[in-house]
């Protein structure tokens, strides 16, 4: 084989390798465009999670920490979805102390009084909704929603996106103020493109985080 032929062959093989990698990386994943409505209105802070009906989930990537901060006597974000095994940091950005706790079965814990500039962390090791409060400030409320899958999204203005491998899934929607049991929906994710999925859920009169000063202004 002449030198220029070998060179051309190498280029072709390299090109095929690139094309195959490219196709494999893109073609196997589909996208779900999630919409969650309550009384016909777009709903914030709903969590939709997708569990494959067959096959193994990818290994959990530990070490990626999530955050719920305390600032202006509020937790933020109000709802944080995480995969089982995730560690959440709770930095206090206020010039006064907080005492974060939960009595929820999925994670009972207490981070005793700690001041501004300090942070503590908790690892969430069980699926379920974990309601957070502060022992000092009754207005403060937030939720960690722990799911057993890496495929989930939280809605903003009623919408969220989940990118996941092709296959069959059961989708579950959760909202802190949802009435009744959790709603599920079966969906097939195709190898390419996106699919719209809509949930309509009922809300009860739920609890929400109240602004600073709503109940106990001055108690630091």
Q: What is the dihedral angle through the alpha carbons of 107, 108, 114, 118, rounded to the nearest 10 degrees?
A: -20
Q: How far is the CB of 91 from Cu ion (least distance, A)?
A: 13
Stretch that binds Cu ion, among 31-39, 102-110, 133-141, 171-179 (CB under 5 A): 133-141
For residue 165, give the H/E element and its range.
strand 159-165
Q: Which is nearer to Cu ion, 137 or 154 (CB)?
A: 137
- Two structure tokens written together for 73: 């006597």
Q: Rule CB under 5 A: say whether 136 interacts with Cu ion.
A: yes
Stretch that binds Cu ion, among 32-40, 95-103, 152-160, 197-205 (CB under 5 A): 95-103
For residue 117, give the H/E element and its range.
none
Q: How far is the CB of 101 from Cu ion (least distance, A)?
A: 10
Q: Which is nearer to Cu ion, 68 or 134 (CB)?
A: 134
- Answer for which of 43, 49, 98, 132 binds Cu ion (CB under 5 A) is 98
Residues 74 and 78: their CA atoms lie apart, in Å, by: 9
Residues 46 and 206: their CA atoms lie apart, in Å, by: 13
Q: How far is the CB of 67 from Cu ion (least distance, A)?
A: 16
Distances (CA, A) of 216 to 71, 118, 137, 185, 211: 16, 23, 7, 42, 10
Number of shown-chain residues binding Cu ion (CB under 5 A): 4
Coil, strand, or helix at residue 23?
Answer: helix
Q: Which is nearer to Cu ion, 50 or 142 (CB)?
A: 142
Q: Which of residues 55-94 bind Cu ion (CB under 5 A)?
A: none
Helix, strand, coil share (%) of the chain residues, nearest 5: 10, 50, 40
Q: How far is the CB of 175 from Cu ion (least distance, A)?
A: 24
- Answer for which of 35, 137, 172, 175 binds Cu ion (CB under 5 A) is 137
- Answer for which of 132, 134, 164, 201 binds Cu ion (CB under 5 A) is 134
Q: Which is nearer to Cu ion, 107 or 137 (CB)?
A: 137
Q: How far is the CB of 214 from Cu ion (least distance, A)?
A: 13
Residues 135 and 175: their CA atoms lie apart, in Å, by: 24
Residues 147 and 71: their CA atoms lie apart, in Å, by: 26
Interface positions with Cu ion (CB under 5 A): 98, 134, 136-137
């Amino acid at each position: 084989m002449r030198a220029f032929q070998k060179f051309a062959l190498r280029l072709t093989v390299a090109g095929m390798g690139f094309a195959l990698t490219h196709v494999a990386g893109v073609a196997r994943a589909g996208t779900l465009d999630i919409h969650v409505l309550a009384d016909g209105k777009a709903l914030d802070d709903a969590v939709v999670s997708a569990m494959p009906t067959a096959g193994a989930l990818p290994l959990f990537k530990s070490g990626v920490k999530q955050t719920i901060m305390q600032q202006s006597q509020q937790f933020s974000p109000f709802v944080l979805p995480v995969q089982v095994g995730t560690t959440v940091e709770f930095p206090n950005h206020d010039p006064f102390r907080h005492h974060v706790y939960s009595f929820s079965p999925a994670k009972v814990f207490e981070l005793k009084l700690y001041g501004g500039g300090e942070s503590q962390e908790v690892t969430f090791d069980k699926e379920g909704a974990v309601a957070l409060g502060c022992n000092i400030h009754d207005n403060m409320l937030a939720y960690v929603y722990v799911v057993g899958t890496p495929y989930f999204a939280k809605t903003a203005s009623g919408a969220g996106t989940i990118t996941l491998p092709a296959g069959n899934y059961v989708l579950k929607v959760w909202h802190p103020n949802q009435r009744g049991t959790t709603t599920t929906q079966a969906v097939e994710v195709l190898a390419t493109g996106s699919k719209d999925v809509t949930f309509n859920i009922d809300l009860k009169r739920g609890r929400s985080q109240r602004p600073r000063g709503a109940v106990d202004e001055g108690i630091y």
